């Protein structure tokens, strides 16, 4: 067990740990910023009716170290000087990390060295709160307990672990009779977690699982106060007229519950969308009833010209408020508040059996990524917002949450930003133990059915008013059986769930819902860019719920933060080596498939830096091709693509695979390949038929475009050039094929470059796309396709890129700032006198010490420039993330030497070259 320490040592260590976490992460974790220090921190709970006050934090300790009784531990005044502080939402290990007990688990194999034995026994979570008026009713309202807990208040047990079990079940405990004036103590005896035995959260092959299996309390425990009548379950069901969007009907519901021993008459009143609501309700002792307001009894609930919520890029994100108060004889007893949006979501199956989403009557291609929370489930609102803004920066419109369903603030952010969310249950552990016999989850007991249904009811009630939530997936790799499906659907119906329910993320069916309309055909490991264009397996047809070419090697900056020099040597020199930072899975334990492709296509790496630069090039072309293929095929008459979820959007730790950006929010080839593919108006090359197409992701059609395609040898010698004028493209994802590149071109080398440029009617460049291609194609062995990839039997020859001459690149940069936000403007120019282009020129914003300033959103990046060409790029970021430093810009590229230039006031240009 962990050693006991003197209180002073504990506080000093916590301060050091907080500094470590601040430097480790983009922003400090909320739990680390505001820990509870034993009984020194008391949550002040007001007496106001309807107040809801989260506990501010806990003191925690292993039960192996605590010999006192539960009654003693849960009594006010119990000494906790040698306990560990924990934030309001904290796993056990998250608290220990914040307290400096273990070194950074995201570095090297530090996490592997953390013993598991301390987490095989229950841990105490203890918190104090104070009330001034115990006459008001008091409730404990919470979810997010992993895996279960006995609950005590002021020395008395108020719930058992048999009742408080499951990460998603919600519990409201009426503790009025136990609450006293002054200090009160609540204590949770939290049970160990095992995702294969408990309906909680697990990680499967995403990352190395945390040694504590995330045991703890990861959502707020809220102390609610009120009078005799409680208002609960307030929500709004909206019905939008489609396609006119001219009107919307609102139905408001809330439960009025008399918790007293005497009958009462309660007046329920309030407003919704500016409409006044009022109703008088007679309640017998301990009676509960649902109060409903509809357009039939409240005509104002039939809204004319409603403010309609749209996904980002399709319209605005207006939100409405519901406010209710229950009063007795003019005195407020309780209040309720909800925020909601008005929108219509439908997702029928098309003629090919694929699920096709539409929002407010407009079809859309779901383009998203699989979301991962922090490995230790530490919630940081700013970090979540940064990632969601990255999704928008990439041109994505959706995030899939396979289990690990985030707190309320996540969905509040998604509502405000216009990011669609697809939450659902996770695969392969206890959640699918009854229906997925090939995985490790145990069969369900009778109690598990109840916990699962209660979990569905709680999440449905929590998520139903969020306009960003457009589905719930009640299965992942497997669909539920008839009993489980009915339980889930009953819970969803009872909650007034109004958006599509999907039986699985894989191509499975459930008895009532039928086919999922989704596919889970992989791949999850490396395949060539051309793979995505085949309308089979994971290719661009239907809705692929999780797919990518696997490894996404981070930038060199990040690799040096997360691995030792010896580990970095192994990374580029030994493809057969097990990589701790890839996956615990035997299938994904090495980078063998990926490294073979990197060597086979680009040539063997000569150094770590060479390995990383080739990796960024490979990831750019592959991620770009994945999204481009799905985008091109979305309006096809036969077997169109309807959705694609990149697996994954991000990782919960420092990873070598499944991420569009790394743990620290640095951006490399994968990120900018996705950003390029998802441009609003985009010119692209098709690997399957050599066609050049223009895709219009805007709603409005466009005409008068000019497309130009030029082919070059790596030294910049032009071998083919064609321009097509008068190009028109319909909107909403339509594409026009403007030309087809010839099958052979005289004098073209085995490795060659294709430059595509799209200009508008005024001659302004609106899209540029550069490809590195080969006259020798990648060859796939489709007959040997398995669940995780399709083998490649021969590789495209891209080795000619290594012969590209170093070219001089100049860069100038300047910075402006306002209201806490800085913008750095960078102009890069290929100033070479020859013909050779500067391929994939990367611009990184860094501080005075050369460390990346993150997060940052670039207008464009990793641009390719021919001699005499320039590009002006802008980077937007928080000024505070400079930490007082002067910004600089580090410019590098495939064939330009890395140099750094100042980004303060305008400076003379600096030449970047190999000389």
Print burial letters for 22-31: b (CB count within 10 Å at least 16), e (below 16).
Answer: eebbbbbbbb
Q: How deeply is 61 buried, as exposed, middle or buried, from its count of CB atoms within 10 A (0-12, 13-18, 19+)? A: buried
Contacts of range 24-29, beta carbons closer than 8 Å, 24 or more positions apart: 24/104, 24/106, 25/380, 25/383, 25/664, 26/382, 26/383, 26/386, 26/664, 26/665, 26/854, 26/855, 26/881, 27/380, 27/382, 27/383, 28/380, 29/87, 29/94, 29/98, 29/374, 29/378, 29/379, 29/380
DSSP secondary structure code for residue 277 in this structure: E
- Which residue out of 259, 432, 465, 477 is catalytically annotated? 477
Nearest to 558 by CA among 678, 650, 677: 650
Query: Which H, E and C letters describe 753-811, residue by residue?
Result: EEEEEEECCCCCEEEEEEEEEECCCCEECHHHCCCCCCCEEECCCCHHHHHCCCCCEEE
Pairing of strands 366-370, 641-646: parallel
Distance from C-alpha of 342 to C-alpha of 248, rounded to nearest angstrom? 8
C-alpha R_g of the chain: 29
Pairing of strands 264-272, 320-328: antiparallel
Q: What is the edge-to-edge ordering of all strands in the sheet holding 863-865?
A: 863-865, 838-846, 888-893, 896-902
| DSSP code string of 350-365 | -TTS-B--EETTEE--
Q: Is 546 a catalytic residue?
A: yes
818: tokens are: 């306002």
To 5 degrees, how large is the angle CA 93–CA 96–CA 97? 85
Q: Is 860 a catalytic residue?
A: no
Q: How deeply is 287 buried, as exposed, middle or buried, from its count of CB atoms within 10 A (0-12, 13-18, 19+)? A: middle
- Which residue out of 334, 546, 557, 797 is catalytically annotated? 546
Pairing of strands 182-190, 123-131: antiparallel
Nearest to 394 by CA among 645, 640, 634, 684: 645
Distance from C-alpha of 675 to C-alpha of 388, rounded to nearest angstrom? 14
Instruction: Give the residue numbers annotated as catalytic, written as ranges.
Output: 477, 546
């Amino acid at each position: 067990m962990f050693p006991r320490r003197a209180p002073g040592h504990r506080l000093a260590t916590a301060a050091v740990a907080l500094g470590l976490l601040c430097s480790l992460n983009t922003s400090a974790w909320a739990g680390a910023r505001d820990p509870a220090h034993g009984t020194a921190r008391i949550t002040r709970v007001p007496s106001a009716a309807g107040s809801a006050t989260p506990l501010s934090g806990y003191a925690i300790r292993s039960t192996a170290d605590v010999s006192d009784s539960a009654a003693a531990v849960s009594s006010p005044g119990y000494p906790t000087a040698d306990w560990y502080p924990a934030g309001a939402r904290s796993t056990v290990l998250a608290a220990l990390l914040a307290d400096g007990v273990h070194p950074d688990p995201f570095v090297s194999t530090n996490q592997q060295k953390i013993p598991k034995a301390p987490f095989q026994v229950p841990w105490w979570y203890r918190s104090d709160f104070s009330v001034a008026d115990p006459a008001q009713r008091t409730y404990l309202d919470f979810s997010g307990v992993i895996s279960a807990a006995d609950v005590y208040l002021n020395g008395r047990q108020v719930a058992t672990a048999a009742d408080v079990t499951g990460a998603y079940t919600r519990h409201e405990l009426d503790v009025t009779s136990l609450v006293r004036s002054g200090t009160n103590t609540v204590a949770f005896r939290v049970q160990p977690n095992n995702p294969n035995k408990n309906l909680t959260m697990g990680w499967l092959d995403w990352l190395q699982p945390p040694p504590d299996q995330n045991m703890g309390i990861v959502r707020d425990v809220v102390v609610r106060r009120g009078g005799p009548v409680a208002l609960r379950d307030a929500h709004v069901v909206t019905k939008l007229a489609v396609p006119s969007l001219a009107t919307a009907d609102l139905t408001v519901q809330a439960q009025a519950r008399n918790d007293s021993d005497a009958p009462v008459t309660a007046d329920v009143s309030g407003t919704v969308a500016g409409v006044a609501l009022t109703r008088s309700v007679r309640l017998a002792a301990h009676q509960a009833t649902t109060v409903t307001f509809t357009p039939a009894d409240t005509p104002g609930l039939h809204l004319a010209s409603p403010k309609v919520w749209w996904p980002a890029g399709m319209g605005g994100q207006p939100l409405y408020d519901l406010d209710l108060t229950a009063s007795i004889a003019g005195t407020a007893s309780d209040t309720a508040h909800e925020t909601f949006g008005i929108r219509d979501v439908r997702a029928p199956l098309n003629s090919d059996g694929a699920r096709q989403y539409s929002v407010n009557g407009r079809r859309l291609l779901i383009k998203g990524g699989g979301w991962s929370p922090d490995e230790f489930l530490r919630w940081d609102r700013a970090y979540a917002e940064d990632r969601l803004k990255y999704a928008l920066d990439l041109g994505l419109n959706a995030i899939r949450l396979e289990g690990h369903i985030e707190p309320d603030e996540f969905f509040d952010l998604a509502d405000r930003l216009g990011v669609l969310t697809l939450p659902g249950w996770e695969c392969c552990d206890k959640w699918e133990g009854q229906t997925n016999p090939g995985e490790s989850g145990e069969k369900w007991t009778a109690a598990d059915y109840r916990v699962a249904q209660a979990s569905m009811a709680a999440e449905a009630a929590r998520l139903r008013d969020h306009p960003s939530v457009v589905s719930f997936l009640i299965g992942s790799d497997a669909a539920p059986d008839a009993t489980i499906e009915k339980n889930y659907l009953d819970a969803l119906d009872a909650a007034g769930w109004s958006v599509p329910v999907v039986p699985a993320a894989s191509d499975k069916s459930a008895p009532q819902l039928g086919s999922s309309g989704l596919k889970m055909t992989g791949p999850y490991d490396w395949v060539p860019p051309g793979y995505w264009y085949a309308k089979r397996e994971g290719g661009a047809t239907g809705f692929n719920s999780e797919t990518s070419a696997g490894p996404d090697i981070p930038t060199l900056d990040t690799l040096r933060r997360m691995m030792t020099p010896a580990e970095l040597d192994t990374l580029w020199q030994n493809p057969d080596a097990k990589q701790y930072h890839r996956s615990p899975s035997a299938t994904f334990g090495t980078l063998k498939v990926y490294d073979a492709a990197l060597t086979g296509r680009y040539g063997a790496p000569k150094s770590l830096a060479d390995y990383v630069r080739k990796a960024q090039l490979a990831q750019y072309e592959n991620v770009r091709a994945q999204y481009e293929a799905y985008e091109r095929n979305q309006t096809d008459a036969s077997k169109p693509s309807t959705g694609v979820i990149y697996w994954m959007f991000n990782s919960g730790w420092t990873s070598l695979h499944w991420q569009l950006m790394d743990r620290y929010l640095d951006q490399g080839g994968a990120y900018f390949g996705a950003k390029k593919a998802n441009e609003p108006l985009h010119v692209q090359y098709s690997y399957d038929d050599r066609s050049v197409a223009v895709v219009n992701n805007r709603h409005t059609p466009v005409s008068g475009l000019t497309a130009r395609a030029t082919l070059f040898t790596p030294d910049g010698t032009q071998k083919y050039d064609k321009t097509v004028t008068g190009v028109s493209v319909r909107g909403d994802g339509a594409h026009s094929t403007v030309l087809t590149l010839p099958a052979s071109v005289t004098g073209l080398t085995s490795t060659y470059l294709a430059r595509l440029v799209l200009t508008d009617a005024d001659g302004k460049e609106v899209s540029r796309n550069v490809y590195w291609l080969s006259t020798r194609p990648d060859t796939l062995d489709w007959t040997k396709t398995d669940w995780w990839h399709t083998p490649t039997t021969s590789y495209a020859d891209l080795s000619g890129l290594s012969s590209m001459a170093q070219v001089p690149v100049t860069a100038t940069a300047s910075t402006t700032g306002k209201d806490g936000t800085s913008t750095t403007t960078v102009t890069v120019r290929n100033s070479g006198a020859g013909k050779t282009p500067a391929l994939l020129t990367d611009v990184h914003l860094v501080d005075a010490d050369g460390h990346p300033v993150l997060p940052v959103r670039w207008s464009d990046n990793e641009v390719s420039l021919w001699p005499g060409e320039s590009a002006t790029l802008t980077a937007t970021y928080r000024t505070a993330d400079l930490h007082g430093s002067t910004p600089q810009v580090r410019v590098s590229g495939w064939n330009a030497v890395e140099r750094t230039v100042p980004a303060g006031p305008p400076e003379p240009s600096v030449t970047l070259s190999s000389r």
